[in-house]
Amino acid sequence: MNWRIGHLSAGRYDFVLHFANLAPDEAVPIRVEFAGQIVETTISTTQATKDAQTYRLLRIGQVNLEKDISGVVLKLTASSPEMPGLLVRHLVIAPAKE
């Protein structure tokens, strides 16, 4: 999934994923590419939702923007094209708490 981000000021930001698992008994690798930075994690079976109708929030990582950005593409990759593992409702970019 790709999104073009309108504008973000310099600073630290958390990525929070709102998702449901299609196969809760399998771990799902997550990768976010944004502003030259990469955040990678895996949603384990203990973090999975019980089914595709149940959603939850999970903080998946953080980036530090050294300068303001505008029009930058954010790319989210979850699982693999051969075996989709997640339903993504939202990816929230929130200022990190100090």
Rounded Cα–Cα distance for residues 90 and 67 (Å): 25
CATH architecture assignment, domain 2-95: Sandwich (2.60)
Write down the pTM of the prediction. 0.87
Query: Is residue 85 a contact partner of residue 23, using CB atoms and an 8 Å limit?
Result: yes
Q: Where do the structural domains in the chain lie, given as residue ranges?
A: 2-95
Query: Is residue 10 a contact partner of residue 68, using CB atoms and an 8 Å limit?
Result: yes
Give the model confidence (pLDDT) of 83-97 as tens digits: 678 899 999 999 998
Give the model confidence (pLDDT) of 54-68 as tens digits: 999 999 999 999 999
What per-residue confidence (pLDDT) applies to 23? Answer: 85
Residue 3 parent element (H or E): strand 2-8
Q: How many CB atoms lie within 10 A of CB 23?
A: 16
Give the model confidence (pLDDT) of 3-38 as tens digits: 999 999 999 999 999 999 988 888 899 999 999 999
